[in-house]
Amino acid sequence: MKSPRMLRLSLATTLSVALMATLMPLAPASATPSIAAPSEISTQALSVDSAVHIAARKIQRDPSRTDVFVNKSYPLSPKKYAPKTVAVPGTNVRLKSSASSAYTTMVKAAAKDGVKIRAVSGYRSYARQAELYNYYTRIYGQSYASKISAVPGTSEHQTGLAIDVGNNNSACGLQACFADTPVGRWVAKNAHKYGFILRYPKGQESITGYSYEPWHFRYLGTSLAKSYKNSGAKTLEAYYGVAGSKSTTPPSKSAKGTAKTSANLNMRSGAGTGNRILLTIPNGKTVKLTGSKNSGWYQVQYSSKTGWVSGKYLKNISMPSNTSKDTPKKDDSKTIKAKSAKTTENLNMRSGNGTNHRIILTIPKGKKVSVTGSKKSGWYPVKYAGKNGWASGKYLR
Ligand SMILES: [Zn+2]
């Protein structure tokens, strides 16, 4: 029995490892060579309208089956399903016994090629997934958390059929660069022979709903894995002819200088609830943004009136492009004086000014960071989510 304190500590350790690892820039995406023309075509047809053009294969929902299909739109049922699992020999990772045997066979085959695969994470219970998901949500907010972590009841890890693998020296552990490590290359090429498929491929994020995860493999059994591979489908979603995840569909493009109300919203004479109400804008209306913003409030025009509304109840906010009044010009020294910057990609914060330093955490794209000092060989000292570290100036604006 672990005391609560021990539990907390071990969780924190696991989390920090997962955390520094889970998020990596999707971009700059080197163009992935297309495998074969036919698969290109079928995938494109799918993305247009999978339901109509593809004779859908039967989707297995029984979580006890090896071919169970699980994603954001197809949660486990029952959602707290717990399989019988075994410890993968020589590890403390647990899987269903079928997946564990297949994994062990794969590890032996890789070893013959001089590649040592390490099991990083296997079965996760509903409760454990809930801890992880809540943790990410606290740090990154729900929208980003859902791209890197499954909502409890929707994780393939809960089936006991998914495993995250790594190198023995943890190189690029749970990071996109894992793909270019010995284990990453080996499993990409060979895992299907043992019944495992790479579940969240690069370039398919909008279909799978997850960031590229070259380490996450799903056991399907050898015959289904073979059928999947031969189909040329790039995702299990495409293979089954089901639509991609709705939750990552980018918000519909809004015109510059507009936003939409997400509630009946008071327009006030100034930025703050202490100001007089001019009118109430109904929920779902489009308002015009003047470009002025003040502590979370936006100046808007609606129904020929101009006033201020709380940004909390605005969505699809698209500031007008002429909002340059107090935006720093593209001059490095000024950016520093502004004492804050925005990330232009998912960006690693490191312990020093260079990629040879340890990753502390990854700051999601589009987040504001505080710049705490001056630039050193292209890197800035920054603060984000209560942590201090260094970030490359290339991805700061
Ligand atoms: Zn995984």
CA of 191 to the centre of ligand 1 (A): 15
Closest CA to 340 of 396, 378, 269: 396
**Tens digits of residue pLDDT in 120-131:** 999 999 999 999
CA of residue 263 to ligand 1 center, whole Å? 37
Annotated catalytic sites, by residue? 213
Residue range 233-260, pLDDT digits in tens: 999 999 998 866 544 333 444 467 888 9
| Under 8 Å between Cβ of 264 and 253 | no
Cβ atoms of 330 and 304 within 8 Å: the answer is: no
Looking at 116-125, 139-148, 306-315, 326-335, which range is the least confident one? 326-335
Compute, in angstroms, the gap from residue 157 CA to the centroid of ligand 1: 6
pLDDT higher at 348 or 110: 110
Residue 250 identity: P
Ligand 1: centre distance to CA 122 (Å): 7
Answer yes or no: is pLDDT of 54 > 60.
Answer: no
Task: Give pLDDT, residue 248.
Answer: 39
90-104, 176-190, 196-210, 296-310: least confident range: 296-310
Residues 341/330, Cβ–Cβ less than 8 Å: no
Complete domains list, the chain, with CATH: 38-248 (3.30.1380.10), 258-318 (2.30.30.40), 332-395 (2.30.30.40)
Q: Say whether pLDDT at 47 is over 60.
A: no
**350 C-alpha to ligand 1 centroid (Å):** 24
How large is the average pLDDT for residues 224-231? 95
Distance CA 119, CA 215 (A): 10
Exposure letters 383-392 (e unless 16+ CB within 10 A, then b): ebeeeebbbb
* pLDDT at residue 390 tops 80: yes
- CA 164–ligand 1 middle distance (angstroms): 5
Distance 384 CA to ligand 1 centre (A): 26
Q: Which residue has the higher pLDDT, 363 or 202?
A: 202
pLDDT in tens, 253-286: 446 788 898 888 898 888 888 888 888 888 888 9
Q: Is the dihedral of CA 148, 151, 208, 174 positive or negative?
A: positive
The band of 56, judged by pLDDT with boundaries at 50, 70 and 90, is: low
User: What pLDDT does 183 receive?
Assistant: 98
Average pLDDT value for residue range 22-37: 31
The contacts of residue 90 (CB under 8 Å, 6+ apart) are none
Residue range 11-25: mean pLDDT, rounded? 37
- What pLDDT, on a 0 to 100 scale, did the predictor assign at position 294? 83
Task: Please list all protein residues whose beta carbon sits less than 5 angstroms from ligand 1, which is an ion.
Answer: 164, 216
Distance from the CA of 254 to the center of ligand 1, in angstroms? 34
- DSSP secondary structure string for all residues of 80-143: T-----EEPTTSS-EE-HHHHHHHHHHHHHHHHTT--EEEEE----HHHHHHHHHHHHHHH-HH
pLDDT at 152 over 70: yes
Confirm if 288 and 246 have CB atoms less than 8 A apart. Answer: no
**What percent of the chain has a predicted confidence (pLDDT) above 90?**
45
Tell me the percentage of the chain whose pLDDT exceeds 70: 78
* Weakest-pLDDT range from 150-159, 195-204, 314-323: 314-323
> What is the average pLDDT score of the chain?
80
384, pLDDT greater than 90: no
- CA atoms 337, 317, 27, 367: torsion sign: positive
**Does residue 31 carry a pLDDT above 80?**
no
